[in-house]
């Protein structure tokens, strides 16, 4: 994510504005960060303004490439990125899909929290101003075929409080975060996944195989 240059009309105020920018808040939150956990609440509003049910769960991140996203309600879903592949387990369907991690995680705004180097390498960023009591940073992916039109990260004085992103179909996803734990000691099992017995596995889990996304 590359911070867009902006002009400050009053040079004497520059240190104050820079210190309180969304970029500055993000860097302060992420400084020295190598792992995090949090709770989330997520909702999706479609292009016609219809809002779906809110889902809730927990997340865990660990540098450089490990990720766990567990939806608890109103349905269960587990997504685990183990550093090589991404596993998506849906108990209601008795199904696990697996795909190459590089295609799944390269454009995730959350990965910058534990790897700030991605801020400028994967995204272009710009200050989004103040809204709803938060300071917003807008991210635009540099990918040739980005998975979302843009993402916005909203920071309060000390933490990431909200994330919004708009996909190519006009759907807007909003995620609210709470109960952040910074640099917790996470067991290695957090980012390992073994398909339960009896479930259908879509994809190839052999170590030598190249795994492709399921369903596009």
How far apart CA 202 and CA 214 sit, in angstroms, is: 7
Report CA dihedral (35, 65, 113, 181) to the nearest 10 degrees. Answer: -20
Confidence category of residue 105, pLDDT binned at 50, 70, 90: low
In the numeric block, the tokens 């190839």 are attached to: 204
Average pLDDT over residues 21-25: 93
Higher pLDDT, 18 or 188: 188
What is the structure's pLDDT at 191? 94
- pLDDT above 60 (res 208): no
What is the structure's pLDDT at 12? 29
Q: 214 is written with which tokens? A: 């399921």
Q: What is the pTM of this model?
A: 0.78
Other beta carbons within 10 angstroms of residue 155's beta carbon come to 21
- pLDDT above 50 (res 59): yes
Report CA dihedral (131, 136, 142, 143) to the nearest 10 degrees. Answer: -70
- pLDDT above 90 (res 111): no
- pLDDT above 80 (res 103): no
Pairing of strands 200-202, 55-62: unpaired
Residue 154 near residue 163 (C-beta atoms within 8 A): yes
């Amino acid at each position: 994510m590359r911070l867009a240059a902006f002009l400050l009309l009053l040079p004497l105020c520059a240190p104050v504005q820079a210190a309180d920018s969304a970029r500055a808040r993000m860097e302060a939150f992420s400084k020295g960060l190598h792992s995090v956990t949090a709770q989330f609440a997520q909702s999706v509003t479609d292009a016609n303004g219809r809002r779906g049910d809110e889902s809730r769960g927990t997340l865990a991140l660990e540098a450089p490439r490990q990720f766990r996203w567990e939806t608890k309600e109103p349905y269960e879903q587990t997504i685990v990125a183990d550093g090589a592949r991404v596993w998506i387990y849906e108990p209601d369907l008795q199904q696990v899909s697996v795909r190459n991690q590089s295609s799944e995680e390269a454009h995730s705004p959350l990965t910058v929290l534990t790897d700030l180097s991605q801020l400028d390498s994967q995204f272009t960023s710009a200050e989004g101003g103040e809204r709803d009591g938060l300071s917003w940073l807008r991210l635009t992916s540099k990918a040739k075929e980005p998975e979302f039109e843009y993402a916005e990260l909203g920071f309060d004085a000390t933490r990431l409080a909200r994330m919004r992103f708009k996909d190519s179909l006009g759907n807007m996803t909003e995620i609210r975060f709470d109960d952040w734990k910074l640099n917790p000691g996470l067991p290695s099992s957090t980012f390992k996944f073994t398909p339960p017995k009896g479930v259908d596995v879509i994809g190839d889990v052999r170590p030598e195989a190249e795994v492709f996304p399921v369903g596009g």
